[in-house]
Every structure is written in C-alpha cells, then in structure tokens.
Structure 1
Amino acid sequence: MTDVPSPAPRVRGRRPPQGDPVVDRALALLAAFDAARPALTLGELARRSGIPTSSALRLAGRLQAWGALERGADGRFTVGLRLWEVASLAPRARGLRQVAMPYMGDLEEVTRQHVLLAVREGGDAVLVERLSAHAATPVLYQVGGRLPLHSTGVGLVLLAYADPDVQQEYLARPLLHEPERVPVSEAALRRTLADVRREGLAHFRRKVPNPLVSVAAPVFDAQDRPAAALSVVVPEERADARLLGPAVRTAARAISRELGARRPLGR
C-alpha cells in the first residue's frame, strides 16, 4: 500500500503560499478606479483588478460596508467618501494645503482661472488641491489625480528640483507629451529643467484640447527641500508672463516662508 503524503501543516498566523493576501486584492480593487473610469460595473472591476468576479463581489461588499466603495442604483461602484476622509489626513498634503489655501485663493481671484498645488509621488505629480473660477477654461486634471512630470507646469518644477538620480531615471524612459502623444526630446527636456532651476519658474504651453499656458514655481519646506509646486493655468490668449510669473513666484515664496523655509527663494 502506498502512503499518501499528508498536506503540510499550516503555520498559525501565516497565509498559504498560493494566492494574494486579502489586503492586496482589496487594494487592487481600489486601484482599478482612475480619472477616466470613476465608476465601474462588477465585471469591469474584476477585469481591471485581475480578480475573479465572485471574489471581486465579496471584497467589494466588504469595502462598501466600511465606506471605501459606494454602489449606485445602476449597480456601478464608485470610490466612497470614507476613503476620501482617510486620505485627507495624509500629513504631507494636509499641512501644505492649510498653509497654501489663502495664497491660492489670492491667485484665483486675480487670474479668474485655475490654481494648482501638486507634490511629487515617485514618477508622477499628484494634484493635492485645485481652485477654479466658475468660468475657467476646462483642464484635464482633478484633485487626487496624477499628472506627468514632463508635460505639465507643476510637473516640470517638481522634476527640475528632484534629486539627480530621480531625474536620470525619469529621463531614461521613453516619454511622450500628453495628450498630444508627441515624443519628448531628452536633450530639450534637460535644457528646460536647467531653465526652470535658473529662473525659479516653469512655463508650459499646451495646444490641445484647448490652448493653455501654465506658469509654476517651487515651494520649499522647513528643511529647504522641494515640497510642492504651485501653478496657474490660463487660456493662451490671456497669458501675460510679465504678470503671471511674479505673482506665482511671490505666492510660492510666501507659502515656503510659512512652512519654515530659510533658503533664498529665487529671483
């Protein structure tokens, strides 16, 4: 008689070797949402997360019960307000926003357009705040969304003031201007970053979907490290660099001073 090997004993407190832990699958469900797909059916949620439909439904139900997801009358899932409440407690954005908001309000009042505040997260800029006038021209990015570093005003500032190894890794990628899908010249981008560091300002122009100009400046923290980028986004026909540049730079300096920065803050 042949002995049948018994299954390996399960070690208490450890998961089986096969399959992802529940927390990873729950995070994969949340990561399935983005600015282009803020509402998803169960099937879409399963496909975009790579989780079987039955498991996706069970996990989505748990997340819905906690408030991380909501489900509409049409059956589609959206990110829940509870998740936004938790995210708003992130210290890197919270203190920065509290200091920056009055100055952003001043810029919005003067320009009657968009004022953006972004931080760098890995190889992207993350928009932590946006003030927009009622009649402001449409823009592509929403609060909490990710922006490319090489083809936005705030992104160019964050990349220009990033550590050299971060820049080198980023510039080694094949890059395209978004949304035009035009290749980016590494040499031209390096010159642009040098100009941003020299001037303390970034100027970025976009032709589609609407001709826009973004003017951005760096914000520094109490350790004199680049903490964020502040920008205004205006229609091309209303872009007066002689006015916008000094206004954005002055606001960024004021925010930096309130954050405790001691370094000379540019021109």
Structure 2
Amino acid sequence: MPRKAAQVSEADKHAAEGGAVAVDRALFVLSAFRLGDTSLGLAELAQRSGLYKSTLLRLLASLEHAALVQRLPDGRYSLGPEVARLNAVYAASFSLEAVVMPVLRALVQATRESAAFHVEQGEHRLCLYRVDSPQPVRDHIRAGELLPRDRGAGGRVLRAFAGEAGELYERIRRQGVIALVGDRSPDIAGVSAPVFGPDGALAGALTLTCPASRFREDFRDDVLGAARALTQGLGGNFPDFPEMPAAA
C-alpha cells in the first residue's frame, strides 16, 4: 500500500525559508506558550505545534538544557529562567521612541494628517510623541503638552480601556477605534485606537488629528492598522475586537 503523506505541522508551516528546521521547530514550541499559561503538558504542546510527541521530547530536551523551558515535577513544562533573562536584556536596551516614531511617520505619510501617541498622566493625557501633518492647516499640539483625558479621541480611548462606564466607552471597547469630530475643539476631528504592551496592558493611544473639513471615515482603517503595527512592535498582541465599524 502507498504510504500516506505526512501532515505538515504548524511548526513547519511557519518555518523560515532557508533556515534550520530543528531551530524553527524549537522556537515554535516556545511560541506555543500564551498569555495566562503557567505550564503545558506534552499533549497540549503537541496539539498546538502539530509535532509528534517523540519529536517534541527531543526539542524540549534541548530547550531545557538551554534553560528556555523547565520540566516541572508533575511532568508539565513551563518557560525557563533564560526567557526572563533575555526579557530583562531586551527591556534594558528598548527605546519606545525608536518603535513609536516610525509608525507615526508612516501613518502621516499615508494620510497627510498629524499623528500622536498619548499616555495617561493623572487626570490628563500626555502627548508623548507626535509627527505633524505636512499641510499648513493642522492641529498645532506639540509633544510634551498635556491634554484633557475626558475630551478628544485619544482621551476617550484611554478612559475606555481604563474601564470607564458609558455607551461611548462600551462602543470603543467593542470596535477598538473611535472617530470624533469637534469633541476636544469644534474645528478638529480625531481618530484613535489603543496600543497594548507585551503584558496585554494598555500602553497608550495612537491618535490621528485633522481639521474637521478633511476628516474621512477611512481614517479608521489607517489608525487601526497603525495601532496593530505598533502593538506588535512593542511585543504585544492586538485583540480581535468583536464589532468593527463598517468601512465608508
């Protein structure tokens, strides 16, 4: 009888072209650990990776030798202390500006409007980084300025993901983006989406602003795409929001 073709594992589907198969598989096993997982059994790892248990055991032995995983007394596996060390090295060398500014510049280039990254600052929000629109008529906020936390698209996003009650904030949490015209200033429109860090916590709000007369509904897609890219650049996972706004 002809042999049945082997099923391609999830690990092999995500392998790097021209890379080392064993390394790709081992790294994919590490990526099988998700936020909230304290430990995983061999069966769970096999299911998530699509690898045979015999292959997994060999990979886990190498990962355990490198302290990237550790085998617990009950036979389950958890991430090892070397992961924490590498995270500390990464965090020490990490520059938020180096990640945020390219995303803001790309958003401005795509929309020709101004883009900013806001973080909470007590009862206000701080414009931490900003790239201005190339057009002469624009919103003239500068990096370092404090803005209201209860007005404007960026402020509304920060409040929504801090748990603020109300229909508007519920909608932001469902859609993942908000577009408002005249909320902070009568002549200014803003579109904002949340940005998340590697721990899943809110890192800030990415906001596009423009004169109300230049506002376009498709700015929502631009801002969502930029917020997703920035979240990934920070090592986070951008959620799949249950209700996305319809494209104009």
> Into which bin does the TM-score normalised by the smaller protein fall?
0.5 to 0.7
Trace 1:130-141 onto structure 2 (pairs within 5 A): 130-139=130-139, 141=141
The answer to whether the 8 A contact 2:231-2:238 is kept is no
- In the other structure, the counterpart of 1:129 is 129
- In the other structure, the counterpart of 2:158 is 158
Q: Deviations over 1:90-147 (max 9, x none)?
A: x9xx833221211111111122221011101222110011111232434253211111
Q: Deviations over 1:8-63 (max 9, x none)?
A: xxxxxxxxxxxxxxxxxxxxxxxxxxxxxxxxxxxxxxxxxxxxxxxxxxxxxxxx
Structure 1 pair 136/231, CA: closer, same or farther in 2 (3 Å)? farther
CA RMSD of aligned residues (A): 2.4
**Aligned-partner Cα distance in 1 for 2:231–2:154:** 16
Residue 263 of structure 1 deviates from its aligned partner by 5.2
- In the other structure, the counterpart of 1:237 is 213
Aligned length: 151
Structure 1 pair 238/149, CA: closer, same or farther in 2 (3 Å)? same
Amino acid at match of 1:130: R
Structure 2 residue aligned with 1:215, among 186, 191, 194? Answer: 191
Structure 2 residue aligned with 1:205, among 171, 178, 181? Answer: 181
Q: Deviations over 1:208-255 (max 9, x none)?
A: 8662210000000000100010011112222111x2001100110011
Runs (4+) of structure 1 moved beyond 4 Å?
207-210
Structure 2 residue aligned with 1:256, among 223, 231, 248? Answer: 231
The answer to whether the 8 A contact 2:194-2:204 is kept is yes
Structure 1 pair 209/161, CA: closer, same or farther in 2 (3 Å)? closer
Q: Which runs of 5+ in 2 are unaligned?
A: 1-90
- In the other structure, the counterpart of 1:37 is none
Amino acid at match of 1:102: P
User: 3-state DSSP class of the match of 1:228?
Assistant: strand
Q: Which runs of 5+ in 1 are unaligned?
A: 1-90, 169-189
**Aligned-partner Cα distance in 1 for 2:240–2:234:** 13
